[in-house]
Structure 1
Amino acid sequence: MKKDVQVHSFFSDFDISLFRAGKHFRLYEKFGAHITEVDGEKGVYFAVWAPSAKNVSVIGDFNYWLEGEHPLNVRWDGSGIWEGFIPGVKKGDKYKYKIQSNVNDMTLEKADPYALKCERPPNTASIVWDLDYKWKDKKHIGSRKDKNSLESPYSIYELHLGSWRKNMDENRSLTYTEMADELVNYVKECGFTHVEFMPIMEYPYDPSWGYQLTGYFAPTSRFGDPQEFMHLVDAFHAAGIGVILDWVPSHFPEDKHGLGLFDGSHLYEHPDPRRGYHPDWKSLIFNYGRNEVRSFLISNAIFWLDKYHADGLRVDAVASMLYLDYSREDGEWEPNEHGGRENLEAISFVRELNQEVYKSFEGVQTIAEESTSFPMVSRPVDLGGLGFGMKWMMGWMHDTLEYFKKDPIYRRYHQNDITFSMTYTFTENFVLPLSHDEVVYGKHSLLGRMPGDEWQRFANLRLLYSYMFTHPGAKLLFMGAEIGQYEEWNYNTSLDWHLLQYDYHKGIKSLLTGLNKLYRKEPALYEKQFVAEGFEWIAYDDSENSVLSYIRKGEDRKDDLIIVCNFTPSVLENYRVGMPREGKLKEIFSSDKREFGGSGVSNKQLKIEETAIHGKDFSASITIPPLGTVVFKIL
């Protein structure tokens, strides 16, 4: 039986003024489909922003998808909001908005931008849902300020939920519920402090890996419903592991049911194609200067921190937002009002986003994937920065991988490649990323980049990871790196878990588990990981032997660590290294342990002698294993 739309509103005048000013950051409490009760009758309140529409109606399986059965009412205040309460609509019902536009008399069918659940692609309808869930992570949230701080270990396991592991019997990805057991236990076993999910917001096209979103407020239904995703987050929190979500405010796809030309006008995207269209990704760019769009995006960031208890957001493609000439030739972009190439509206948006996030949630982090030398990305807004907590260190990644792919016999000529990062490593709070982008499109897997015979390739990989974990900064590894994946990542297939039956691959996993344990145990590796006081070179200029030696420092001098890396396959015996003080030298970690697949070269406890070298009054004679890293402590 048809029931008419009733006049009803979740919006106060104050809500409207905030929305129009770009200052309403909880829009998910107002827009969308909300199960509610009006005058004793249960149903759903719908609200959508479509200022260029002349008519908007809700179509769905409850009215046989007939246009005009349930027309919404446009608000009188000029906000462009259409709303109304439809009795009898219930959780699980599918719906869309049918929009008749004032622009060229277009008629459009659009998914709800604020939908809490979407149909599983390739279907495109929104689904009425709620977010009822009893969280069990109060202890985790209460301790987040300390565990998620910049002075704590930050070791991130980046993964793509669809291809981490498959149910081989049914040839499908694991569900959120299955991952709450298998994935959580695995990440805990490996010792990572955080996971980072490639975008889990609903996306229509699998090969986009989730970076082309259509359902900004809905976890993808590929793996289950919203409560099941909450359960997965809850399970990670119970295991003491933080959850970071990839978030994409930089662009969105042109799919007909999505945000593009939402009401027939350029509502969410910038109307000028020089600023509203990405030639590389063939996608649309948000209009950061439009107040309502800023409210939409910041509300979306807040939503995942609020309703899904995320511990951080890794913001994708920040560089593409900051520069008007990003991936454009001369004549394809227009300078800003000062004649520069910076996108002033996007910069303002990013700063406001970070201010709101850090004001609203204690202990969370925002992380910028930003590939340029834009200054002060991870510095506070009130000091002139963009306000992110951390930034990916793309220069370190590039230089390090370039160095490691060289045959060790030539590395002596490229010492600067492996030391250059220390000239700028404390200009930002850097994350060292060996991410999914480095193992696709013909770049080879990390193991596939390593030179030499089989033993040397695995030794090089162990050396790379050990150098990474002893270098200042947080750490990020993409799934598969921890088992020495031979093949490039394929979004459509599982990781090659069968490799763990082989000793060298088991050794890589054991090594990374050991490195995570070392990182979490030793304060010198994290207490000052973002400040210059936490690092000191011993010798960076021994290019003849391709050796680096340095000190990592904590708050307490007794926690200092001595790290020595040998980038050649030769055992270096009686190698003298300067020491900051006298005492006894104890080896606490070696990448060459037999359990890691190494040769077992090691150092027994050594006496530090009063012999000057490397500008130090004291030194010790050590043995450095081939293609190995050793970590010492002074007793």
Structure 2
Amino acid sequence: MSIFELLLAYNLMVTAPDVQGASTAEQQSEPAQVVVGQQISSLDLGESGTDRGTWISSVFVSRNQQPDSSLSGAGPGATGTVVDIAAAPETLTLEASDNSNSLQQVWSNVRQQVNTGRDLLSRYVNQVWQYLTTAKPEAGYGDRDVIAFEAENIALDARDPEPLPKIRSQYVVSPDVEQLHLAAVELLEQEPELDPATFQPEAGIRFNDDNSLTFRVLVGNDRDRLSLIGDFNNWGQDVDLGAYELQPTVENATIHEVTLPPGNYHKMQYRLLDQYGNQRLDLNAPLFSTPAFNRRFYGDRPDEKAINAVIWKPEAIAASDLAPVIDLRGKPLSILETDIVSLALKWTCQNPDSPFYGQMGSQAIDQLYNFVGECGLPEKLAELGYNSIQFMPLDTHVDFWEPDAEYFPDWRYSYQIINYYGKHADFGSPDELRHMINAFHQADVGVVLDVVYSHYSDHGNNEPRDFGPLGYSQYHSQDGWELYGGPWTEWGTRRFTYSDTVRRNIIDAALNNVLNYGFDGLRIDNVNGIDSQPYGRELLREMTDAIHDYRPGAVVVGEGYFGDPYLNRANEYGGAGLTTTYSDRFYLWFTEDLMKHTEEIDSWRLNYMLEQDWPRALLYYPGNHDEFANPGNPFQTRGRYLVDAINGGDYHNRKIQSWSALNLFASSYYLDMFQLWTLQNGNLNDNAPIEWPRLQNSFPNSNVEQIVNLQSEMKDFFISQPAFAPHNMHRNMVRWIDHDNKIVEFERIDFATGQRVYAVVNLGDRSFSDYKIAVSPKEATFRLGVDSDKIAFGGGGHNPEYMESQDNQLTFHLGSYGVVGFVQEDRIEPIDLSPTAAVTVDYEFTNYGPYND
């Protein structure tokens, strides 16, 4: 059972609290269910000394439930029933019925019945609200007298006294944001406290100046005696292994080391041998061998299919070629999410100076790091309006590509990690990965790595590449228990134990990514899974603190799904220090309302969520790898690309442009996948590669070309305006929602200058020749920053480049599913920076506003 099924169940319980569960088609004959209780978060709900509240969630999983063996425990194969017991935190049990209806069918029937009554009531409520609010637009930033927020402190678990306010010389921060103490803002002018050049992981291979080699391995106890066997000593045959035995270090007896005499060890492979004659892998090695890696770098190697650790001596990038480190602080982020295979497979190399010139990525799988870096992809992404790229995990994972196989590496296996230090060797060497990251930096595109520190795979591929007997389970702590192994997950993987030793090891791996490979940030997979484990919260706080001590400009994005404001709060204020986390309840609304006719769109719920969620500085997305892969329900877009879900022809497929713009302009953090813009059908599982030929070979003014060019202009508008930066967020960013026509107006402000930026998104299919929005000041010149009505984007070109506001209004043409953005050009006046009323954060995450009592 995946986290997304859990979220769907939350939504079900909100709209239909009388429904306590559903049966699945996959249930076996055994009716009993077990309950796995999980405390999601415990928040301080007020001033210091007040009572605490606890939000409890339980996952019901069949005793006979088995992971999908075809994916080695990958999430999509899991089944089960999820029930929210937030209203009844005591332990419950369920008896599974013999009903053969699927969860999706039950969901659909229940929702249909609930919506019949709910929509009738909400229609009248909406009409009353519309009548009361149509007299004038909703409050702008300057309208302090109509602020409808209660005075309340942010309820977070701040253990230490609140630090003194920071004095900033480079940034002016919105008064609303100032009180939130977001990590993204508190780090704005922080200088590195530690020199990156001094970082060295506690465990790993160290190349000494005299060409000797030191191995330091996290063994976990002081009893085991491991020896090195490998290419350098005939794999232990007819050799005295005494010189290769690792001994506990003085400073840390759980770290063992040995130093080999000077020699050329580069590319040699090795394993560890314990005192009982059992072999295991060094989990701190820079990479594990794969058949593709062996064939490319060794030619004919007899143990080509064996999985071994590899010694790789890094080669520094020449100073003349090294691009500056990218600082992602203070910027609105437009992020492309992809796996490296999907990015490159159908791209044709456009660099005549590259040996890949004219080839497609499918012809260079074992050199994808080089191919991506050399063949114009970094420059293309910058041209498309992305200022950062997020790669799905590149750490060593269970799936290894056989060069002669008919299939290409599947993105789903990348989340089944077997080594969070080593990089996946199918696509090239560690040096080639560094060069690829440097190529993105030269194009001014930051690179974020998706990492999995919440669970690991205890099994690898079939023999002779079986990982289980060689990997995590072979290491034990001082008390004899497994060093790494925690409880099993619903995906068939293992949770980590976040002991001091393991936390230190994971943090070193995270720092290795940022400091030695040059990644500009990390995306932490399954943050809720980490946070729910003992000492998981400490891992998050310690990891972000360590990263920012070396590189304050690096971002840490969390795949966190329960709206816990603790996650994005700065470390010094008791938070986890993450830059941003996902906005899942917004996405759940998005998946359903995108499928509705204009008049059915629940814009009141949208308004409520945007008002309540902005203080969390959440990341918004029209879809990511999970959403475009994992099946949903017929009334949702989940499990397929948006054009496949809409299926409305060229006209209604234009919904993609405005509904994505809604995500883009609602926060300072946005993510999508480019398959969205090539208008691909299917889903990420059956049609993962980006179909670049649909863009490269499209005829002029084609639908694909028009929508790609528009999304590029939207993103350029977004990342080029300081008003969209996180430190400029404010409580009245949603300036006005036209509930009759489903049109949203955002007001974003650069508080350093007072310049205002307006973005208007038409979610409906109606066109307006003279649409009016409220703006400030009363009279000013506004430049057209983005306009879907341009002829190049398939519009009529009705709007001039410059417009004048009159009586606090702008009038312009707004097409169906239209997107328009304006930038104030004159009469820019300073914004009042005096403190505002305390920002309210809604902690009842399942409270969706007008429909609740």
CA change 1:89–1:80 in 2 (3 A) is farther
Q: Determine the C-alpha separation between the residues in 2 that align with 1:556 and 1:63.
A: 64
Q: For 2:218 and 2:664, how far apart are their aligned partners in 1? A: 48
The corresponding residue for 1:90 is 265
Q: 1:123 to 1:83 in 2, by over 3 A?
A: same
Aligned pairs (5 A) from 1:444-483:
444-450=640-646, 452-457=648-653, 459-483=654-678
The aligned residue for residue 223 of structure 1 is 427
Check whether the contact 1:157–1:196 (CA below 8 A) recurs between aligned residues: yes
1:279 corresponds in structure 2 to 489
What is the distance in 2 between the residues matched to 1:474 and 1:76? 44
Match of 2:713 among 504, 514, 522: 514
Verify the 8 A CA contact 1:579 1:620 in the aligned structure 2: yes
By relative contact order (CA 8 Å, sep 6+), the higher-ranking structure is 2
Q: Quick one: structure 1 residues 266 and 466, their matched pair in 2 at CA, closer, same or farther if it must change by over 3 Å?
A: same
Q: Does 1:487 align with 2:696?
A: no
Give the equivalent residue in structure 1 for 2:502: 293
Could you tell me which residue of structure 2 aligns to residue 248 of structure 1?
452
How has the CA–CA distance of structure 1 residues 597 and 64 changed in structure 2, closer, same or farther, with 3 Å as cutoff?
farther
Paired with 2:201 and 2:802, the residues of 1 have a C-alpha distance of 62
Structure 1 partner of 2:245: 72
Decide whether aligned partners of structure 1 residues 133 and 634 sit closer, same or farther in structure 2, where only a CA change above 3 A counts.
closer
CA contact 2:666–2:746 (8 Å) conserved in 1: no
Counterpart for residue 288 of structure 2: 118
Within the alignment, does 1:198 sit opposite 2:392 as a pair? yes
| 1:268 has 2:451 as partner | no
User: Is 1:441 aligned with 2:630?
Assistant: yes
Partner of 1:628: 818
Q: What do the CA deviations read for 1:587-634 (whole angstroms, capped 9, x no partner)?
A: 332123332344555467554333xxxxxxx32443321111212244
Range moving further from structure 2, 551-560 or 355-364: 551-560
**Matched residue SS, 1:349:** helix
Find 1:189's aligned residue among 383, 394, 397: 383
Deviation at 1:558, TM superposition (A): 5.9
CA distance in 1, matches of 2:689, 2:657: 23
User: What is aligned with 1:10?
Assistant: none
Residue 447 of structure 1 and its aligned partner are, at CA, apart by: 1.9
Distance 1:575 1:110, change over 3 A: same
Alignment of 1:246-395 (within 5 A): 246-255=450-459, 256=468, 257-263=470-476, 266-270=481-485, 276-288=486-498, 290-323=499-532, 343-395=533-585
Question: Matched residues in 2 for 1:492 and 1:268: separation?
Answer: 39
1:267 CA drift (Å): 3.7
Three-state SS of the structure 2 residue aligned to 1:227 is: helix
Q: In 1, Cα distance between the equivalents of 2:331 and 2:212?
A: 47
Q: Relative to 1, partners in 2 of residues 1:72 and 1:446: Cα closer, same or farther, differing over 3 Å?
A: same
Q: What is aligned with 1:547?
A: 743
| Aligned residue identity for 1:352 | E
Q: Secondary structure at the match of 1:118?
A: coil
Select which of 599, 620, 627 maps to 1:432: 620
Measure how far apart 1:296 and its partner are: 0.4
Describe the SS at the equivalent of 2:341.
coil
Q: Distance in 2 between matches of 1:465 and 1:507?
A: 15
Identity of aligned residues (%): 20
Counterpart AA for 2:740: E
Q: TM-score, normalised by structure 2?
A: 0.61
Task: Indicate the SS of the match to 1:260.
Answer: helix
Q: Residue 158 of structure 2 corresponds to which residue in structure 1?
A: none
Which residue matches 1:60? 230
Following superposition, the deviation at residue 61 of structure 1 comes to 2.9
| Aligned-residue offset at 1:172 | 4.8
- On the 8 A contact 1:198/1:209 being kept in 2, the answer is no
CA distance in 2, matches of 1:576, 1:190: 30
Question: Which amino acid in structure 2 is aligned with residue 31 of structure 1?
Answer: A
Q: Which amino acid aligns with 2:673?
A: F
Alpha-carbon distance in structure 1 between the residues aligned to 2:255 and 2:751? 55
Q: Is the 8 A contact 2:650 2:703 kept in 1?
A: no
Assess, with a 3 A threshold, how the Cα gap between structure 1 residues 479 and 508 changes in structure 2: closer, same or farther: same
Q: Distance in 2 between matches of 1:493 and 1:521?
A: 30
Paired position in structure 2 for 1:572: 768
Give the match for residue 408 of structure 1. 598
Q: Tell me: CA distance 1:216–1:570, structure 2 relative to 1, closer, same or farther (3 Å).
A: same
Asked if 2 retains the 8 angstrom alpha-carbon contact of 1:405 and 1:451, the reply is: no
- 2:544–2:576 CA contact under 8 A, matched in 1: yes
* 8 Å contact from structure 2 (residues 599, 741) kept in 1: no
TM-superposed CA distance for 1:460, in Å, is 0.3
Distance of aligned partners of 1:622 and 1:269 in 2 relative to their CA distance in 1, 3 Å threshold:
same
Letter in 1 for 2:730: A
What do residues 546-603 of structure 1 show as CA deviations (whole Å, max 9, x unaligned)? 2222312112566312222222222123333223222345533212333234455546
Task: Report deviation, 1:492.
Answer: 8.3
- Find the residue that maps to 1:230 and give its secondary structure: helix
Distance 1:436-1:56 versus aligned 2 partners, 3 A rule:
same
By how many angstroms is 1:209 displaced?
3.8
2:608 partner letter: F
What SS does the aligned partner of 1:46 have? strand
Paired residue type of 1:194: S
Q: Measure the CA separation in 2 of the matches of 1:492 and 1:123.
A: 31
Query: For residues 392 and 361 of structure 2, what CA distance do their matches in structure 1 show?
Result: 25
- 147, 163, 178: which is aligned to 2:371? 178
Count of matched residue positions in the alignment of Structure 1 and Structure 2: 560
**Residue number in structure 1 paired with 2:67:** none
1:583 equivalenced with 2:780 (yes/no): yes
Distance 1:135 1:199, change over 3 A: farther
Q: Give the letter for the 1:439 counterpart.
A: F
Q: Which residue number corresponds to residue 21 of structure 1?
A: none
- How much has 1:170 moved relative to structure 2? 5.8
- Answer whether contact 2:201 2:508 (CA < 8 A) is retained: no
Give, in angstroms, the shift of residue 198 of structure 1. 0.9
1:135 Cα shift? Answer: 5.1
User: 1:185 Cα shift?
Assistant: 2.1
1:440 deviation in Å?
Answer: 0.7
Tell me: CA distance 1:487–1:596, structure 2 relative to 1, closer, same or farther (3 Å). Answer: farther
1:561 is paired with a residue whose SS is strand
Structure 1 position 259, deviation (Å): 1.8
**Distance (Å, rounded) in 2 between the aligned partners of 1:29 and 1:548:** 49
Shift of 1:293: 0.9
Looking at structure 1, the residues matched to 503 and 362 of structure 2 have their Cα atoms a distance apart, in angstroms, of 43
The 8 Å contact of residues 117 and 221 in structure 1, kept in 2 or not, is answered as yes
Residues 681, 687 of structure 2: 8 Å contact kept:
no
Q: 5+ residue gaps in structure 2?
A: 1-196, 292-304, 346-358, 400-408, 460-467, 632-638, 826-853
1:197-231 superposed Cα distances (whole Å, 9 cap, x missing partner): 11111112254342222232222111111111111
